[in-house]
Structure 1
Amino acid sequence: MLETEKKLSVVMPAYNEGEHIYENLHIVSEILSGFIKDYEIVAVNDGSTDNTRAEIFRCAKSDAHIRLVSYKKNRGKGNAIKCGVEKTSGDYIAFLDSDLDLPAEQLKEYVIALIQDKADVVIASKMHKDSKIEYPVVRKVISFGYYCMLRVLFHLKVKDTQTGLKVFKAEALKSIIPLIKTQGFAYDIEILVALNCRGYRIMEMPVELVFRRGKGMGRIGIKDIITVFRDTLIIFYRGRIQKVY
């Protein structure tokens, strides 16, 4: 058990995860209860067309640590994350994908690193030398290409911005979350660019990842990739030209 009286909020965005979300939320809650006294899970139903909302609601009734945030129209992962963050009450805020491709057990080490290394943000990096990943080759190639693009545009000193496991000090994240406009998958880079512009310290950690959505791109299609690159250029314009962050 961590020696801290501070609260951890875990934001879990979910879109059409009805088959597994009930079980996964209970798994995460059990893991959190094993290392931190005060915590909450903010599960965000991003306009799912299946029974995701009902399953989160059912889970919340059986576990007071779980909270439901929901809206009817699918607006993208970035919007779900932003809505979830706005509803959190913790001193630390974590992002965790609801499919649990990224095992929730890793959260403990990330929170410890945030506290002990006095970082403002700790993010998972698939490119860390100690990471253990089972990941389709096509996604590795795209991830590396995107990393190169981000280095050129933003000069960020991180190798992987897109892995869905991150832990923040709440005061850092909430200081920039009103500025975040990206609703899709590029939300990560906008958050990190905004934090970097304000001088917050970002630390990378190794990650264990098991890709559960087949051998190809999973739910991410060509249209999504094009949108990510478009949104990244918009973030560049907002950050470097308009000086929004």
Structure 2
Amino acid sequence: MQLSIVIPLLNEAESLKELHNWIASVMRSNSFSYEIIFIDDGSTDDSWKIIKQISAEDPSVKGIKFNRNYGKSQALHVGFDKAEGDVIITMDADLQDNPEEIPDLYHLVSKEGYDLISGWKKKRYDSVLSKNLPSKLFNAAARKTSGLKLHDFNCGLKAYRKAVVKNIDVYGEMHRYIPVLAKNAGYSKIDEKIVQHQARKYGKTKFGAERFINGFLDLITIWFLSKFGKRPMHLFGALGILMFFFGFLFTVWIGASKLYKLYHGMPNILVTDNPWFYIALTTMILGTLLFLTGFLGELILRSSREKDRYRISETTGEF
């Protein structure tokens, strides 16, 4: 199979039939063998009903329904797991991603050998203050942190070589950083392509302003994981030893100062009346806690991570 098109969605009943017809038309005109996988992330409208109707009419359409809303990353995770195509395309279900871009994305991966091609919505139809400006700041921080020179990390329209999606783990809310996850997994041939962005035709966006706060927090997380994810002791252990060492030096200095004053008959004060005593004690305790954090991190890495991050209530089509 040439193509798997993975489409996560939440309450997009109005756009699904139009999106399917548009994708099917593009696939037929390019003679692609393909599958479309809709992942219903706990919709409360008629999205799943429509997906089942489309699947009954078109055997290339498959559907997965979560029993509640787990998030886009979990939807992509299961979509990647089920995809059978040589090239996997992801896109949003709100008609803001143009299916006419799919053939070019496919050829960049299949013919030119790219591991991942990320869409770049250079011209956007979103609000400048609520989306465009925060998005530019977010992408600039992601470029600086990751070293990937992409303009639009969060674009839903992307193309992947099959090996990439089978060897990365999209969890939490890390769908924003799939190119970074791919790079950290050893896939270096990553580029971008300018794609057409369209104004939303139905409904409203499912993401609020909090997504940018979460995005920056996730960026810090993925930076940490890429640097120290496999060696937490190198960070926490080093910081712990350093703080404990400085605390110990403070303690030695306090003790030496007290002995000096006693030896020379100078007025002396209780150790507990010296503020440096509490600074030294706090520093040593923090150092010990940091070291233990690194040690626990190493133990956690050696235990298996829980994989059951979502529950599927129903499927349609043949997987």
Match of 1:113 in 2: 108
CA contact 1:47–1:75 (8 Å) conserved in 2: yes
Distance in 1, matches of 2:159 and 2:4, equals 9
Distance in 2, matches of 1:26 and 1:65, equals 12
CA offsets per residue over residues 77-118 of structure 1, 9 Å max, x none? 111111111111111100011112011011111112223322
- Secondary structure (helix, strand or coil) at the match of 1:74 reads coil
Match of 1:3 in 2: none
Q: Is 2:183 the counterpart of 1:196?
A: yes
Q: Is 2:184 the counterpart of 1:181?
A: no
Amino acid at match of 2:199: F
Q: Is 2:157 the counterpart of 1:170?
A: no
Q: Select between 13-22 and 61-70 the one with higher mean Cα deviation.
A: 13-22
CA contact 1:9–1:90 (8 Å) conserved in 2: yes
CA contact 1:47–1:74 (8 Å) conserved in 2: yes
Q: CA deviation at 1:65?
A: 0.7
Equivalent in 188, 191, 197 of residue 209 of structure 1: 197
Equivalent in 125, 134, 138 of residue 125 of structure 2: 134
Question: Which runs of structure 2 are paired with 1:200-239 in the superposition (5 Å)?
Answer: 200-212=188-200, 218-239=205-226
Q: CA deviation at 1:152?
A: 2.4
Q: CA deviation at 1:220?
A: 2.0
Amino acid at match of 1:200: S
CA offsets per residue over residues 193-225 of structure 1, 9 Å max, x none? 1211213311111111013179xx933212222
Match of 1:150 in 2: 142
Q: CA deviation at 1:133?
A: 3.4
Distance in 1, matches of 2:195 and 2:102, equals 10
Amino acid at match of 1:188: R
CA contact 1:119–1:203 (8 Å) conserved in 2: yes
Structure-2-length-normalised TM-score: 0.67
- Secondary structure (helix, strand or coil) at the match of 2:19 reads helix
CA contact 1:158–1:204 (8 Å) conserved in 2: yes
Amino acid at match of 2:5: V
Structure-1-length-normalised TM-score: 0.86
Q: Select between 68-77 and 32-41 the one with higher mean Cα deviation.
A: 32-41
CA contact 1:94–1:168 (8 Å) conserved in 2: yes
Amino acid at match of 2:138: Y
Match of 2:49 in 1: 54
- Secondary structure (helix, strand or coil) at the match of 1:209 reads coil
Structure showing greater Rg = 2
Q: Number of residues paired by the alignment? A: 228
Q: CA deviation at 1:238?
A: 1.6
Q: Is 2:65 the counterpart of 1:70?
A: yes
Distance in 1, matches of 2:189 and 2:21, equals 32
Q: Percent identity?
A: 25
Amino acid at match of 2:193: M
Bigger fraction of residues in helix: 2
Q: Which runs of 4+ in 1 moved over 4 A?
A: none
CA contact 1:29–1:41 (8 Å) conserved in 2: no
CA offsets per residue over residues 54-76 of structure 1, 9 Å max, x none? 11011000001100111111011
Distance in 1, matches of 2:200 and 2:138, equals 22
Distance in 2, matches of 1:70 and 1:219, equals 18
Q: CA deviation at 1:16?
A: 0.4
Equivalent in 90, 95, 119 of residue 100 of structure 1: 95
Distance in 2, matches of 1:40 and 1:187, equals 21
CA contact 2:96–2:198 (8 Å) conserved in 1: yes
CA contact 1:135–1:209 (8 Å) conserved in 2: no
**Structure 1: 5+ residue runs without aligned partners?**
1-5
Distance in 2, matches of 1:37 and 1:205, equals 21
CA contact 2:117–2:190 (8 Å) conserved in 1: yes
Across the aligned residues of Structure 1 and Structure 2, the Cα RMSD in angstroms comes to 1.9
Match of 2:6 in 1: 11
